[in-house]
Amino acid sequence: MLENTKQHEPRKDSGEVKAKKHLGQHFLTDLTIAQNIVNGLTLAKNYKKVLEIGPGMGVLTQFLIQNNNYQTYLIDIDSESIIYLKKHFSELEKNIVEGDFLNMNLEEITGKEPFAIIGNFPYNISTQILFKVLDYKDQIPEVVGMFQKEVAERIASKPGSKVYGITSVLLQAFYDIDYLFTVDENVFNPPPKVKSGVIRLTRNNKSKLDCNETLFKTIVKTAFNQRRKTLSNSLKPFLNETLKEMPVFRLRPEQLSVEQFIELTNLLDTLN
């Protein structure tokens, strides 16, 4: 496979363009890792489009486009990267979009059909990227992304873990998460200060949670904002004296599964 690869040399610091810190630019320079990230897409779900966020110099893109069955879309906020991409991936020209992923109407780019998301994400906005994925969850069957390692671990973590938190619960309500592998600092230019982790999110079959979803989000956020407290303390404003005596409120938020948060929401919904 690799010998057929159209190699696009990752952009070195040749004076052509310098990595911009405020845009979270850390360019991956290891092609084996790039290929492994792209291989993280199972392509098992029924979709024909893949959207890459923050392609930079296209180190992942070069592997993505090898699979002709999929239409590739690229979004980057950096105009210099866009110029570079249009030059090196001219075949994608009309699918290369300049702008801020967070402010985009994705339907205008990919249409109404399902699409997967892939990227070595800018770490400063990675949580916001995932919340946007949730907004489009019924169109996004699969996400493969590289994050700061701690963020990747948190998203993938299970109840009982010290790092289990808001993003774990909100994402695991709709996606199954696999932690794929860890990536070292020294394979980036410039190297970030922290290690990275690659995870895969696979949409589960729930179209809706069995509870008031707005209240569910509020409860998850409120409970974890005081994660050391028991739920009877952190959720006091939502409780009455009778409910407070139930054993579940003696727990701390990190002990609750997604299902238990749903049950809890239904309990509190009767009062609020």
Which residues contribute to the annotated binding site for S-adenosyl-L-methionine?
Answer: 26, 28, 54, 76, 100, 120
Site for ligand SAH in 17-76 (CB under 6 A): 23-28, 53-57, 59-60, 75-76
Tokens of 81: 């990267």
Angle between helices 258-269 and 213-225 (to 10 degrees): 110
Rounded to a whole number of angstroms, the minimum distance from the CB of residue 99 to ligand SAH is 7
3-state secondary structure 182-217: EECHHHEECCCCCCEEEEEEEECCCCCCCCCHHHHH
Phi-psi region of 190 (alpha: psi -120 to 50; beta: other; left: phi over 0): beta
Cα 22–chain centre separation: 20
Tell me how far apart the alpha carbons of residues 267 and 257 are, in angstroms, rounded to a whole number.
15
Could you say which of 33, 51, 96, 125 contacts ligand SAH (CB under 6 A)?
125
120 binds ligand SAH (CB under 6 A): yes
Number of residues lying near ligand SAH (CB under 6 A): 24
Tokens of 91: 């075949």
Rounded to a whole number of angstroms, the minimum distance from the CB of residue 235 to ligand SAH is 34
Residue 196 contacts residue 152 (beta carbons within 8 Å):
yes
Q: Which is nearer to ligand SAH, 189 or 202 (CB)?
A: 189
Residue positions in the annotated binding site?
Answer: 26, 28, 54, 76, 100, 120
101 binds ligand SAH (CB under 6 A): yes
| Residues in touch with ligand SAH (CB under 6 A) | 23-28, 53-57, 59-60, 75-78, 81, 100-102, 120, 122, 125
